[in-house]
Structure 1
Amino acid sequence: MLEEAVLHRPCGGPRILRDQLAHLLEAARQRHVEVQILPTAVTDHAAAEGPFTLLEPVGAHATVARTGGRLTTNRTTVRTLQQRYAALRAQAHSPAASRTLVENALGALRAI
């Protein structure tokens, strides 16, 4: 899940951004990877409180959440973050539409 603005922010210059977008597009084409872009127009989104990560380790009996620099298996915290993630997915472009956005951003940079 990425904010749309990062597709256009040339940190390190256009060449670096072009390489990053190409790598992102390559990753998005993998069977086991889903990339979704959150539109810039969505101003009140489910991750406005900050980044978080949900992990489901193989063989583990609980989902692990990382938020605020800490890991937790607290069911209430994990459930809240799972709900936020579901809301984000609903607010974001589909994986196919997201790939198209990345392709378009990359195409615009190749013209430079």
Structure 2
Amino acid sequence: PASGLVDEQTPISIIGSGFSHHAEVRAGGNLLIAIQVLGSELITATVPKGISPGFYSVIVSNEDGSSGHLKNAFEVRKPEEQASSSGCVVGKRSTGTGTIVFVFLLMLALIRRVTRARAAQSASN
């Protein structure tokens, strides 16, 4: 889902490229928990319970300072609110795993390409 309830943890998956082994993932200013970088193209993490309701950008930051984000990618809702995407009333969810897929190709791939182009240009000079 692109959303979760304020009183529940929500597992997400992030698909992209250029993720480093020690990448951090945040929803707005909130550090996600159980972050696992499963490769340079896949991260799983959990949005913790207790985050204030609202829309949050999801941000992936590598230890080299490069980062990518998707604006308003995740919504935290109160249990009694309706889901904005389906119009269904949301109550307690089943225990199934929710997955969100984000593509961070633009920012991370662009940063990698610029870095490689600069390195190649420096090597040729």
TM-score, normalised by the number of residues in structure 1: 0.26
The structure where strand makes up a greater share of residues is: 2
User: TM-score, normalization: structure 2?
Assistant: 0.25
Question: Is the radius of gyration larger for structure 1 or structure 2?
Answer: 2
Higher helix share: 1
